[in-house]
Amino acid sequence: MNSISKFWNEFCQKNKIAPSALEGAYAFGANSHDADVLSDLINRGIKTATTSIYTSADDVPVVGMYSIVLDGNNQPVCVIKNETVEIMPFKNVTEKHAYLEGEGDRSYEYWRKVHEAFFTWECKEELGKKFTEDTEVVCETFTKVG
């Protein structure tokens, strides 16, 4: 049994959660440094939201499901539970959502600068499309539960 499975099984037993409630295990960010920084923010309860490019209905998180947050070494840090999931154009992401992401100085300006640069790169390099203000994104909020 690997460390992620062991972590999840122990969480399920302790909290009386069905193992099937796991949506996935993943690291936030584009590299191991980002994953370490962002997993720490989540673990400390500072980061309670995230935004990602919307690519298909299969990629949309489900409210009420759980995920394991991994660090830069793909080791489990904590468990989060999805609270809200919304799909909208990038230009419609709110200041409140940017603040809940917990990054940098938590300002909308900081959030927009960092996410616009990342999404421009991601769309071009990984998705083969152009990022615009109208590109749809998935905005999630979550709670750390373990």
CA distance 62 to 12: 18
Cβ neighbours around 98 below 10 Å, total = 23
Q: What would the pLDDT profile of 91-142 be if each residue is shown by its tens digit?
A: 999 999 999 999 999 999 999 999 999 999 999 999 999 999 999 999 999 9
Q: What would the pLDDT profile of 7-53 be if each residue is shown by its tens digit?
A: 999 999 999 999 999 999 999 998 999 999 999 999 999 999 999 99
105 SS3 class = coil
CA distance 44 to 98: 17
1: pLDDT confidence band, cut at 50, 70 and 90? low
Look up residue 131 and give its two tokens: 């990022």
Cα 113 off chain centre by: 18
Where do we find the tokens 């962002």? 38
Q: Are 145 and 15 in contact (CB under 8 A)?
A: yes
Q: What would the pLDDT profile of 68-104 be if each residue is shown by its tens digit?
A: 999 999 999 999 999 999 999 999 999 999 999 999 9
**Going by DSSP bridges, is the β-strand pair 22-27/66-70 parallel, antiparallel, or unpaired?**
parallel
DSSP letters spanning 38-88: HHHHHHTT---EEEEE---GGG---TT-EEEEE-TTS-EEEEEEEEEEEEE
Residues 6+ apart with CB under 8 A from 44: none
